[in-house]
Amino acid sequence: MAATCVVGLQWGDEAKGKIVDFLTEKNDIVVRYQGGANAGHTVVFDGKKYKLSLIPSGIFHSHITNVVAGGVVLNPAMFLKEIDGLKEQGISCENMILSDRLHVIMPWHFEEDRLMNETTTGESIGTTMRGIGPCYRDKVGRSWAIRLGDLYRETFAERIRAIVAKKNMILAGMDPEGGAQRLDAEQIISDYLGYAERLKAYVTDTTAFLLDALDAGKNILCEGAQGALLDIDHGTFPYVTSSNSSGVGVCSGAGIPAKAIQKLVGIVKAYNTRVGGGPFPTEQDNEIGQHIRDMGNEYGTVTRRPRRCGWFDAVAARYTARLSGATCLSVMLLDVLSELPEIQICTEYEIDGKRISYFPAHVDDLRKVIPHYITVPGWQQDITGCRKWSELPENARKYVKKLGEIIGVPVEICSVGPDRTQTIFVEE
Ligand code: GDP
Ligand code: IMO
Ligand code: MG
């Protein structure tokens, strides 16, 4: 039995979708196991660009079963819209199953996300406003949670009426000026029963399916959403998402045992980006950051917000690679740095005059960090046409190897453009 995992080691958008699609061929099953429609994964091939949010990036291969597992929070309307959009582009979405255990995003979760985005520390989290945090909060709270399997039970309507009565009181209390939307239980029941009908063919016990698949010797590819620095327990809390988006979340989210994980591919950009609030020690809020944003088209896939850009943070990546159990790395968007004469890599932090090489747990400490860099020469030539390791300029090869050395995990793949074919296996 074997599972390979693709996990972002930064703050998301590391091009996980591209690598999942690239690795899909050698697998039988692709699993999305946490997060929800906050994710935006891009896959490019044959001159076409596909943007996926809830649907696993294995969907373009017909021999694959795509699984949306129990750790995901599902917005049924957005999921159905995504299926319709893909079908219009000629992609069949029949090879997919959904967990009856996964939690469903309800209309109140959007209102709560809007009203609770502010933290008590001033800077807002800057969520994607997709109701992700409130849905996970209700999951942990249990009493008011709706799982996909609940939509098919006789008690569904009665439960919605009871929850809506409570939620209307809470929402009114959260916005005393009367700005909160008033929820209509009957409308919600009717909408969600409609979604349930359309989703019925996909819903099953995916935990049993995956355990049986492992017993049968199938190869499973697990597709992480977000990145390890956004992990609810181990990321830059509270500026994180509400699920375990580092490698530690694979087993709980998918419902597979730790011993099944054979390989974990840590995905990093050749630099760092972040969308939303929170500290970012190597951020370049200057012409370098703007250059990276322009070259990498660094605007959010989901919200189109400009992404904050900065130099590669190897202190953070070393931490997340160790935490996630990365067995190899994939360095993405290398081409974005092609014009720069020199490139910097942060290898050490300084806090209150002390040099440290660990990643601080508290955001107040992270905000104080002075990054220390090494400077390496750039390659200043277009690499988007390179297809083999030997075709890359020497300085580009050295940069990729250097990242692997500092992080302490070998780099197996690097990427020089968005297309499936712009992917290179790293050689000695
Ligand atoms: P994900 O959320 O981790 O799947 O990443 P996103 O899809 O949100 O963001 C990655 C972006 O970079 C997408 O627009 C990809 O098409 C694009 N991309 C992927 N690999 C490369 C690469 O090597 N070079 C360039 N220039 N763009 C890339
Ligand atoms: P993919 O899978 C980048 C960020 C949001 C915000 C924080 C919390 O495409 O890499 P949430 O809506 O999850 O409560 O927002 O997390 N965030 C992402 N940033 N890529 C993502 O997904 C993200 N999903 C959430 O910007 O800062
Ligand atoms: Mg993304």
For 100-143, the pLDDT digits (tens) are 999 999 999 999 998 887 666 678 899 999 999 999 999 999 99
- SS3 state at 73: strand
For 260-303, the pLDDT digits (tens) are 999 999 999 999 999 989 999 999 999 999 999 999 999 987 77
How many Å lie between the centroid of ligand 1 and the Cα of residue 43?
Answer: 8
- SS3 state at 191: helix
Q: Which of 14, 73, 127 should be mutated for ligand 2, with most atoms under 8 A from CB?
A: 127
Of the ligands numbered here, which is closest to the C-alpha atom of 382? 1
Predicted confidence band of residue 175 (pLDDT cuts 50, 70, 90)? confident
- SS3 state at 344: strand
* 372, 282 contact by CB (below 8 A): no
Residue 428: predicted pLDDT:
82
- SS3 state at 274: strand
For 204-254, the pLDDT digits (tens) are 999 999 999 999 999 999 999 999 999 999 999 999 999 999 999 999 999
Question: Residues whose CB is under 5 A from ligand 3 (ion)?
Answer: 13, 40, 301
Residue 388: predicted pLDDT:
98
pTM for this structure? 0.97
Q: Whose CA is nearest to atom 5 of ligand 2?
A: 127
Joined together, the tokens standing for residue 397 give 């090869």
Q: Which of 405, 393, 314 is nearest to 358 (CA)?
A: 314
Residues annotated as catalytic are 13, 41
**Does the beta carbon of 231 sit less than 6 angstroms from any atom of ligand 1?**
no
Calculate ∠ Cα 328-365-273, nearest 5°.
Answer: 45
| Closest ligand 2 atom to 278 CA | 27
Residue 167: predicted pLDDT:
97
